[in-house]
Amino acid sequence: MEKYTVRVDEIVIKNFKNVEYGMIDFKNSNSKIKASVLGIYGQNGSGKTTVIDSLKLLKLILMGSSIPLSFADCINVDCDSSTFMFKFRIEKTNSNEITYCIYSFSLKKIKYTNLNSQISDQNQTNEKVIIFDEKLSYSLTKDDNIIEKMQVLIYSDEKNMTFEPRTKLKELVGNSVDDNTNVIVAKKIASSTSKSFIFSREMLTIFREKCKNKLYLSIFESLVNYGHLNLFIFDNTSNAIISLDTLPLSLRLHNDKEESSGIIPLPINGNGLINKDLLKFVKLGIDNINIVLCELVPGLKIDLRVTGEQLESDGSVNSIIHLVSNKNDKAIPLRYESEGIKKIIAILNLLINVYNNSSITVCIDELDSGIFEYLLGEILSIICQKGKGQLIFTSHNLRPLETLDKSCIVFTTTNPKNRYVRFTNVKRTNNLRDLYYRNIILGENGEYLYEKTNNHQIAYALREAGENNG
């Protein structure tokens, strides 16, 4: 299989959480920057995490997974649905051939009747999320020349039992009655299971069997592979897991024959269990972490100690492990380390992959949580200058504004109809941190970046609340 590098170039979000409209262009305008690094800054509740949630939704779709009902709660309260658009750049390895893809879809919550309900004699009404109005378009360039203009590859709406255009339908799945029936069944399955129709396993199987167009197949395969292996999301759920004495170790491993990736939760509160077959991969991941960890926190490394084995009821064997923090040859259980150290360990493999692999996209919410601000700025600066992959992060710490190029920063606004902006007319000698503070106070960039608070009112509220406590 030919290899491709996939990058997210642009996101448009409509009516999702508190974002009525927001557009982010991820392409760096500075040609000297190799990696694609983008930090999202702004006031609490202003739409930073919304971007991470959108990318998490994208990953679920590309993996052919069901969309959890929790995403329905993110649809703007004044709307029936949310709409998303993702623009991708797919670059063929060792070639000047680039495919640009635009994938858009809408999300809504519906009620349905569970005819198989065991509760009483009445049918049970449930809710689920459905994806509709899916559209995948593409264009092809080679040596900066347009080979094929942007055109629709597949468009699926709620009215059409299959999809359009009809010419592409024939090329992708065939034109027999059985072919159409298989597509109709796949579409109904996707709707009933809250999955994408285009990227469902049923449709991918049909594409692989019926489609003879190599370009079309490469688009589907590269995007699906990207979702499974190369798009990583480290969100608030991951941060919460750390607080519960579990280390979400992100791994991406490959050899000449296969690639694999995923997150392995490692218990750090005493002895934990891990499948024996996974043990060697975890050890390799920890070895890689230690190479960098001792440079970030001098003298620190982590050890994975195997203290025994446990036979499970299904015949599998789990290794009993104990994670230890070792600093200057003094070992203590990892659970006694700070939240910041645990956070660094959890994300370090992701940063290693971003630095070395151009196909990797890592999205981290609250990257600065628990990490010393000077160290944070230095890490981001190094990745920006010499990294190969794509890093998207949110942060409250302003130190990176002093170390990253202005093209690597997006700010949220107080305007829900224009939620994300970049600073313009920024000189090389300007301090972006100072400019940010000035824009918060004066609103010089055309949009207000901070919803003003009144110190006197805050003080009064604190005093009033205290008086209510008695």
* Predicted local distance difference test score (pLDDT) of residue 75: 93
Residue 317's DSSP bridge partners are 311
* Predicted local distance difference test score (pLDDT) of residue 178: 92
In angstroms, the Cα distances linking 268 to 289, 304, 346, 348, 350 are 16, 10, 12, 17, 20
Cβ atoms 193, 66 nearer than 8 A: yes
In a domain, 164, yes or no: yes
- Give the range among 18-22, 28-32, 64-68, 285-289 with minimum mean pLDDT: 28-32
* Predicted local distance difference test score (pLDDT) of residue 255: 61
Top mean pLDDT of 34-38, 248-252, 330-334, 466-470 is at 330-334
Distance CA 469, CA 127 (A): 41
The tens digit of pLDDT for each residue in 396-416 reads 988 999 888 888 999 999 999
Q: What is the mean pLDDT of residues 369-380?
A: 87
* Predicted local distance difference test score (pLDDT) of residue 264: 84
Cβ atoms 278, 271 nearer than 8 A: no
Q: What is the mean pLDDT of residues 83-92?
A: 95
The tens digit of pLDDT for each residue in 284-326 reads 889 999 999 999 989 899 998 888 888 888 888 888 888 899 9
Specify the number of domains making up the chain: 1
* Predicted local distance difference test score (pLDDT) of residue 236: 83
In a domain, 158, yes or no: yes
Task: Kindly state the tokens that stand for 373.
Answer: 């601000």
- Average predicted confidence (pLDDT) for the chain: 87
* Predicted local distance difference test score (pLDDT) of residue 244: 77
* Predicted local distance difference test score (pLDDT) of residue 23: 97
* Predicted local distance difference test score (pLDDT) of residue 219: 96
| Helix H or strand E segment including 348 | helix 339-356
* Predicted local distance difference test score (pLDDT) of residue 89: 95
* Predicted local distance difference test score (pLDDT) of residue 45: 86
Q: Would you call 281 helix, strand, or coil by DSSP? A: helix
- Is 453 a residue whose pLDDT tops 80? no
- Is 121 a residue whose pLDDT tops 60? no
Kindly report whether the peptide bond that precedes residue 333 is cis, defined as omega within 30 degrees of 0.
no
* Predicted local distance difference test score (pLDDT) of residue 312: 82
Q: What is the mean pLDDT of residues 255-266?
A: 74
Q: List phi, psi (to 5°) of 265.
A: -75, 120
| Helix H or strand E segment including 438 | helix 432-442
Given phi > 0 = left and psi -120 to 50 = alpha, else beta, which region is 4?
Answer: beta
Q: What amino acid occupies position 269?
A: N
- For residue 422, with 0-12 CB atoms within 10 Å meaning exposed, 13-18 middle and 19 or more buried, which class applies? middle
- For residue 114, with 0-12 CB atoms within 10 Å meaning exposed, 13-18 middle and 19 or more buried, which class applies? exposed
Beta strands at 390-394 and 36-41: parallel, antiparallel or unpaired: parallel
* Predicted local distance difference test score (pLDDT) of residue 90: 95
The tens digit of pLDDT for each residue in 91-102 reads 988 888 899 999
* Predicted local distance difference test score (pLDDT) of residue 444: 62
Distance CA 146, CA 142 (A): 7
In a domain, 467, yes or no: yes
Range of the domain at 135: 1-235+365-470
Would you give the distance in Å from CA 248 to the centre of its chain?
15
- Is 30 a residue whose pLDDT tops 80? no
- Is 245 a residue whose pLDDT tops 90? no
In a domain, 302, yes or no: no
Beta strands in 160-314 (DSSP E): 231-234, 246-254, 259-267, 272-275, 300-311
Cβ atoms 90, 6 nearer than 8 A: yes
Angle in degrees, CA 65, 60, 110, rounded to 5: 70
Neighbours of 294 (CB within 10 A): 14
pTM of the model as a whole: 0.90
Cβ atoms 302, 333 nearer than 8 A: no
The tens digit of pLDDT for each residue in 40-52 reads 999 888 899 999 9
Nearest of 82, 74, 71 to residue 15 by alpha carbon: 82
Distance CA 394, CA 413 (A): 14
Distance CA 443, CA 449 (A): 7
In a domain, 382, yes or no: yes
Nearest of 371, 343, 422, 357 to residue 26 by alpha carbon: 422
Angle in degrees, CA 87, 91, 96, rounded to 5: 130
Q: What amino acid occupies position 402?
A: E
Distance CA 363, CA 49 (A): 10
Beta strands at 361-364 and 390-394: parallel, antiparallel or unpaired: parallel
Angle in degrees, CA 115, 121, 126, rounded to 5: 40
Would you give the distance in Å from CA 264 to the centre of its chain?
17
CATH of residue 61: 3.40.50
- Is 116 a residue whose pLDDT tops 80? no
In a domain, 152, yes or no: yes
In a domain, 299, yes or no: no
- Is 126 a residue whose pLDDT tops 80? yes
The tens digit of pLDDT for each residue in 147-186 reads 999 999 999 998 889 999 999 999 999 888 999 999 999 9
* Predicted local distance difference test score (pLDDT) of residue 371: 85
Distance CA 427, CA 444 (A): 15
Q: What is the mean pLDDT of residues 445-451?
A: 75
Given phi > 0 = left and psi -120 to 50 = alpha, else beta, which region is 150?
Answer: beta
The tens digit of pLDDT for each residue in 333-355 reads 888 888 888 889 889 999 999 99
In a domain, 338, yes or no: no
In angstroms, the Cα distances linking 430 to 29, 420, 426 are 17, 21, 6
Top mean pLDDT of 3-7, 205-209, 243-247 is at 205-209
* Predicted local distance difference test score (pLDDT) of residue 98: 92
* Predicted local distance difference test score (pLDDT) of residue 104: 98
* Predicted local distance difference test score (pLDDT) of residue 84: 98
- Is 1 a residue whose pLDDT tops 60? no
Query: For residue 125, what pLDDT band results from cuts at 50, 70 and 90?
Result: low
* Predicted local distance difference test score (pLDDT) of residue 118: 54
What is the 8-class DSSP label of residue 313? T
DSSP codes joined into one string, 359-392: T-EEEETTTTTTS-HHHHHHHHHHHHHH--SEEE
